[in-house]
Chains A and B, each alone.
Chain A
């Protein structure tokens, strides 16, 4: 996995390059927006991390330019500003996620992993959560030992929905919408039953965490 980092502060840049390297990513760092295009022309990247406060062309302009040129490269914005306007702007312009400085490296790594996972799911129809491999096209999941899990239609739908939002809390209502067609009715209790069965089948490979009053989250085991 290759990540392009656009960050002008050498201390931050250096730490991100090293930190993500330990998480298994290869990171190329540039210090300004102008040199991004030549990098993208020559190398394939799975993700770009863009600082908003760049000298010269700023992060907003870069994001807008990339999206206008039709790039589907996942973009993670890093900024020192925390106003909502910036967040809305960046996401409206086509950034995929947003992280406010100062952040911890594990947090950055987790965001990168989630973004890359989502992008891969869209292109390769495959996802990995923890040790669980999810084949979206084949509608099947394999555990850490490579065994295909025996899942009912509803359990699969729940897993698929949680996987698409892995690392995020998915509300019960959303899961209900994901597993039933419009003429069916299903209670919150029924969801709990399906989730506990799914949880048992996932075993050690990944875990479905129940969050009181909020929903469920698919986590690495």
Chain B
């Protein structure tokens, strides 16, 4: 069904809720990770900076003035010098293998003095002791100095890149024996980046778990919240398609209640309209049929009372016209009453097709006997769920149509039975049949063909089509099993289906 697939493609409330919750929740996760990162990274960096400044202080404490008036680092507080990335395991001798005396070590004053701050630490460490005028006394003379106010005892910090190393620099301004010096220490940022990464990971995982929990709870909540709507949907699906009973408002959540109320208003309107239509049809039937009955009966009486042959012939023609008018009126009323919207589920009962064929054949027998048509039946037990009088009307119209198109002395056979699980009704005649090209058109309203009994109303097969539709049955026009005639077949839905 086209509408079904169209409905399926439309977004579901559940899907929308999930999308509208999921997107903000993911954004929220990113924002909270960012906020947490910002919150911890400053104190963490402060702590690292403080440790770095302590190192600068320690270096300053080891400075002393030599005999030549120069400042020397009396005793390096650090491990051996090695270029970064190529460190051997920490040696036993803290002062290095080749520099036994502090004098020699200081005098060497190499351009790159790498030191490890702690044994096993990941970071490489550089230092520089310089004068305020920029001259380097000891250490790595290229190491940048963190700018700050030049007050004695002050620390300043900065980030710098030196020898392709990202460094954090701490500069300590102090005085050694009355000489103002700047002790700068630089440390690669491995350790702090590592700490930040670890914290970021931990925060990411815990926030992610939180998000998943919230999402799960949301999904659960959505499912629970949508349950009344699902129940409503099931209740609507369980109803008979023809049911116009209002839906109960009681277990419906307040948000959906207006919807159900509107639906009920619509149902009531439709039901009222259907009732009004039924009422109208009943009145119309009475107003049309009663005078037609009178007219027909009066003409019959007139014909029997008159002996003038010419007059009798005129009366017979008149009677034929009135009869056709009466037939058309009946057919129109039947067509209107066959409208599927006008019957309620209460009208549907179990209808035995054999018994139906018996009743209809009984009613049509006099007409067929008058035309010497052999009307017979081939019945197997079958029953359908349907509106009895409509199925009666359906079969009457099929037989009426067959009688009209069957020549005198012909043959009409009514059949019923089961085709697999599907009950069927069939009327076969020995008339000229209907060419395949015309089979669709003859079901149209007022498509009239001249039959043996004069012009038909052109509504008979339209009524059959309409009633079959109301019973979800298929109406087919086929070739007769024997001879040239037509075989009209109405196949109902398999018996297992209740509707």
Question: Does B bind A?
Answer: yes
Q: Give A contacts to B, CB under 8 Å.
A: 9-12, 14-16, 18-19, 22, 53, 80-84, 87, 100-107, 168-169, 171, 209, 211-214, 217
B389 contacts chain A at the CB level, 8 A cutoff:
yes
Closest to B295 in A: A11
Asked whether, in the complex, the Cβ of A102 is within 8 Å of the Cβ of B326, the reply is: yes
Distance in angstroms between the alpha carbons of A120 and B74 in the assembled complex = 149
Q: Which of A11, A103, A169 contacts B291 (CB 8 A)?
A: A11
Task: Give 17 A-B pairs besides A103-B296, A105-B301, A168-B362 with Cβ atoms closer than 8 angstroms.
Answer: A12-B290, A15-B296, A16-B297, A19-B301, A53-B286, A81-B282, A82-B334, A83-B337, A102-B292, A104-B297, A169-B361, A212-B375, A212-B413, A213-B376, A213-B414, A214-B357, A214-B358
Judging by beta carbons under 8 Å apart, are A212 and B377 in contact?
Answer: yes
State in angstroms the CA–CA spacing of A107 and B366 once bound together. Answer: 10
Partner of A15, one of B282, B297, B362, B393: B297
**Chain A contacts of B292 at CB under 8 A?**
101-102
> Using an 8 Å CB-CB cutoff, how does the interface string of B390-420 with A read, 1 for contact, 0 for none?
0011000000000000000000011000000
B63 at the interface (CB under 8 A from A): no
**Contact of A213 with B378 in the complex, beta carbons under 8 Å:** yes
Q: Does A81 lie within 8 Å of B285, measured CB to CB?
A: yes
Interface string of B295-308 (1 = CB under 8 A from A): 11110110011000
Q: How far is the CA of A24 from the CA of B89 in the complex (A)?
A: 138
CB pair B293–A12 under 8 Å, yes or no, is yes
Cα distance A10–B293 when bound, in Å?
A: 11
Q: Top 3 closest A-B pairs, CB basis?
A: A212-B376, A11-B294, A15-B297
Q: In the complex, are the beta carbons of B389 and A15 less than 8 A apart?
A: no
Cα–Cα, bound, A102→B331 (Å): 12
Question: What are 8 A-B pairs with beta-carbon distances under 8 A?
Answer: A9-B291, A19-B304, A53-B286, A80-B285, A84-B392, A100-B289, A103-B296, A104-B297
| Residues of the B chain whose Cβ atoms lie less than 8 Å from the Cβ of A9 | 290-291, 293-294
User: Bound state CA distance, A82 and B389, in angstroms?
Assistant: 8
A81-B285, A211-B361, A213-B376 known; A22-B304 Cβ under 8 A: yes
In the docked arrangement, what's the CA distance between A58 and B375, Å? 38
A82-B333 in contact (CB<8A)? yes
Rounded to whole Å, the gap between the CB of B406 and the closest CB of chain A is 14
Q: How far, in Å, is A192 (CB) from chain B's closest CB?
A: 14
Query: What is the CB-to-nearest-CB distance from A176 to chain B, in angstroms, rounded to a whole number?
Result: 16
Q: Is the Cβ of A102 less than 8 Å from the Cβ of B296?
A: yes
Secondary structure of the B side of the interface?
helix
Assembly CA distance A11 to B300 (angstroms): 12
Chain B residue contacts of A168, Cβ below 8 A: 362
Residues in B31-70 with C-beta less than 8 Å from chain A: none
A140 to chain B, nearest CB (A): 28
Considering only CB atoms, which chain A residue lies closest to B337 in the complex? A83
B374/A101 in contact, CB under 8 A = no
Expressed in whole angstroms, the Cα–Cα distance for A58 and B413 within the complex equals: 40
| Residue B480 CB within 8 A of the other chain | no
- Assembly CA distance A137 to B290 (angstroms): 42
Cβ-defined contact, B326 with A211, below 8 A: no
- Could you say which residues of chain B place their CB within 8 Å of the CB of A22? 301, 304
Residues of A within 8 A of B376 (CB): 211-214
**CB atoms of B369 and A209 under 8 A apart:** yes
What is the bound-complex CA distance between A83 and B362, given in angstroms? 19
Nearest-CB distance from A208 to chain B (Å)?
13
- Asked if A217 contacts B365 (CB within 8 A), the reply is yes
Tell me the complex Cα distance, A81–B305, Å.
Answer: 30
Determine which of B298, B347, B357 lies in contact with A14 in the assembled complex, contact meaning CB atoms within 8 Å. B298
- Counting chain B CB atoms within 10 Å of each CB, which of A16, A81, A102, A105 scores highest? A102
> Do A212 and B374 have beta carbons less than 8 Å apart?
yes
A-chain residues with CB within 8 Å of residue B326 when the two chains form the complex:
102
Q: Closest Cβ of chain A: how far from B315's Cβ, in Å?
A: 13
B137 at the interface (CB under 8 A from A): no
Given contacts A82-B333, A82-B334, A209-B369, contact A12 B294 (CB under 8 A): yes
State whether A84 touches B388 (Cβ < 8 A).
yes
CB distance from B460 to the nearest CB of A (A): 15
Q: Distance in Å from the Cβ of B341 to the closest Cβ of chain A?
A: 16
Asked whether B297 lies within 8 Å of A87 as measured between CB atoms, the reply is no
Q: Which residue of B lies closest to A12 (CB)?
A: B294
- Pick from B289, B301, B334: contact of A102, CB below 8 A: B289
Residues of B within 8 A of A171 (CB): 358
B294 lies within 8 A of A15 (CB): yes
Nearest chain A CB to B148 CB, angstrom units: 104
Which residues from chain A contact B333 at a C-beta distance below 8 Å? 82
**Cα–Cα distance between A217 and B365 once the two chains are bound (Å):** 10
B331-350 vs A: 1/0 string, CB under 8 Å? 00110010000000001000
In the complex, A80→B281 CA distance in Å?
A: 11
Select from chain B the residue with minimum beta-carbon distance to A108.
Answer: B297
CB distance from B119 to the nearest CB of A (A): 105
B297 touches A12 (CB 8 A): yes
Whether A101 pairs with B293 at a CB distance below 8 angstroms is yes
Please tell me if the beta carbons of B375 and A15 are within 8 angstroms of each other in the complex: no
Name the CB-closest residue of B to A51: B290
Q: Which residue of B lies closest to A103 (CB)?
A: B293
Q: B377, A213: Cβ atoms under 8 Å?
A: yes
Complex Cα distance A168/B364, Å? 11
Q: A103-B293, A214-B377 are in contact. Are A18 and B286 (CB under 8 A)?
A: no
Q: Which of B294, B334, B414 has the most CB of A within 10 A?
A: B294
Partner of B289, one of A84, A101, A106, A212: A101
Q: Shortest beta-carbon distance, B494 to chain A, in Å? A: 25
- B378: chain A residues at CB < 8 Å are 213
Tell me whether B167 is interfacial, beta carbon within 8 Å: no
B290/A80 in contact, CB under 8 A: yes
CA distance A100 to B333 in the complex (A): 13
